[in-house]
Amino acid sequence: MSDPILSIRDLSVRFRTEKGPRDVVEGVSLTVAPGEVVALVGESGSGKSVTALSVLQLLPKGLGSNPAGSIVLDGQEMVGAGETVLRAMRGAVAAMIFQEPMTALNPLHRIGRQIDEVLALRTRLSASERRVRIVELLAEVGLEALASRLDAFPHELSGGQRQRVMIAMALAGEPRLLIADEPTTALDVTVEARILELLDHLVRERGLGLLLITHNLNIVRKHAHRVLVMHEGRLVEDGPTERIFAAPAHDYTRHLIAAEPAGRPEPVAADAPTVIEAADITVSFPLKRNLFGVATKSLVAVRGVGLAIRRGETLAVVGESGSGKSTLGFALLRLLKSGGRITFLGHDLRALSGRALRDKRRAFQVVFQDPYGSLSPRMTIGEVVGEGLAAHGIEPDRAARRARVQGALAEVGLDPEMIDRFPHEFSGGQRQRVAIARALALDPDLVVLDEPTSALDRSIQRQIVELLRGLQARRGFAYLFISHDLKVVRAMSHRMIVLHHGEIVEQGMVEDVIAAPREAYTKALIDAAMLDG
């Protein structure tokens, strides 16, 4: 193995908190050589992302972070380096793929412009040459269809598409080291496989070093040369991938390997009433308008979809990124304009508007895919979770509302004493649990779960799945569960529908579909997820 492109020695990071200084990373040492994939694994809050952000000195200043130790990147010491050095290293020598695309992409700039900015800064290509390169980069990350939509804004893309745009931006500067912080979190299994194959190709053909941060041990087992396990800010084990999985030495490593969503949901009562029923749901987005504002070209994202969910039942919606899963969920909640019929608890949702619709919305809630983007950074998590209670006049007494919020936090596995902290003080997985608590606090009849476990490590996924199943068994919630993770779908759901290009191509009981898929598309999804029939 050649000399490392990255060498970290005795890295420690201390954050300033209300209770005084706290060490979040202690004595971490690691190396990444050209052509090597090093996986950094551990549960949410273990210090993985803090370690990664330290490499390019990207830790938030507001946290009072105080990195100590040594970080040598391509021969340059990064700890204590000036802004001129840091700007020269960021993007050109090392680039990051961040975990949450909606916070990393500029919501006011079109995707073509954002990739072009990197090329203009890091290359000498002309404007026309840069445009050709943008199309090539999008094709490399599986976004050939966006070549004609370079003027699209991030909010017009699916979560998986946004994630791939970020990967294209990271590759634009042709760095020697790529730091990938949960690079496939928002991607379905088939696209995940393509992205990882792309990263493998870059490592092999360009000699790229890759520091891969992930909670998905299936990815680690298949793609990493070495594994480093972090727990509570420290490295507890490291070694070749085969040895770590075959004979883990540390109890915590064994715990991670054994963690997997398991079990099945409680059966639905035979006489369970229908909570929501929809027929012929169609959603289209205008791509071009004439001078009078009339759409002359549209993209049909969902076409003629019908479904029904009963009390105590979970219906999973699966499919590749851009297949219309999230669009369907938002249309059912009347967050997007759509055609068709939607009946909720016997009421025609299309007949409701204004105050009547607002009052009804207490009964259906949503957990969004991107936890950081859906939480106000200026509100404490107590205010975030309690906002819906205040809006609907529930628990008008502040003390009673605070107690209810603390109870919701406890239900999702968070310390109730964290109620006065802000979202930036939590890991990605912890923020996702705050979002779940916000939805559950209103005790709704229907919850749309849009990739609720995508940002969580496997052990926390299992806890959240068990939590959601337990809440459903006790309170009878109906769930519309949107996910690309078929292992979680299997543990959570009674029935599933498979969407492809906005249309249902297969549906049925989860176990029946997994055991004997009729469509080749469904079989490809199951094969990519490495599910046994």
Top-confidence residue, 395 or 363: 363
pLDDT per residue as tens digits for the range 76-107: 999 989 999 999 999 999 999 887 777 789 99
Top-confidence residue, 25 or 370: 25
pLDDT value, residue 526: 86
- Please say whether the beta carbons of 125 and 156 come within 8 A: no
Mean pLDDT computed over every residue of the chain: 89
pLDDT at 1 over 60: no
- Please say whether the beta carbons of 65 and 59 come within 8 A: yes
CB-count exposure of residue 474 (10 Å: 0-12, 13-18, 19+): exposed
pLDDT value, residue 190: 75
Termini Cα distance of the chain? 41
Q: How many CA atoms lie within 13 A of 442 on its CB side?
A: 27
- Please say whether the beta carbons of 58 and 266 come within 8 A: no
- Please say whether the beta carbons of 188 and 319 come within 8 A: yes
pLDDT at 241 over 60: yes
Domain 274-528 top-level CATH class: alpha beta
pLDDT at 15 over 90: no
> Quick one: average pLDDT of 416-436?
86
pLDDT value, residue 530: 62
Which of 47-56, 288-297, 353-362 has the highest mean predicted lDDT (pLDDT)? 47-56
pLDDT value, residue 533: 43
pLDDT at 246 over 90: yes
This prediction's pTM? 0.72
Report how many helices (DSSP H) and strands (DSSP E) the chain contains, helices first: 19, 20
Which CATH code fits 1-93+177-258? 3.40.50.300
pLDDT at 323 over 60: yes
pLDDT value, residue 460: 76
Share of the chain above pLDDT 70, in %: 97
Distance between CA 261 and CA 217 in Å, rounded? 13
Residue 402's identity, in one-letter code, is: R
pLDDT value, residue 46: 87
Distance between CA 101 and CA 372 in Å, rounded? 10
Give the least confident one: 71-75, 203-207, 442-446. 203-207
pLDDT value, residue 101: 78
Closest CA to 490 of 266, 329, 262: 262
Distance between CA 343 and CA 364 in Å, rounded? 12
pLDDT per residue as tens digits for the range 117-173: 999 988 889 999 999 999 999 988 888 888 888 999 998 887 778 888 988 999 898
Distance between CA 57 and CA 93 in Å, rounded? 14
pLDDT at 286 over 70: yes
* Residue written as token pair 């289209």: 284
What the block records as the tokens of 367 is 């957990």
Place 478 in a pLDDT band, splitting at 50, 70 and 90. very high
pLDDT value, residue 367: 87
Backbone angles phi, psi at 338, to 5 degrees: -150, 165
- Please say whether the beta carbons of 111 and 154 come within 8 A: yes
Domains of the chain: which residue ranges? 1-93+177-258, 103-174, 274-528
pLDDT value, residue 492: 95
Backbone angles phi, psi at 100, to 5 degrees: -115, 100
Radius of gyration of the chain (CA): 23
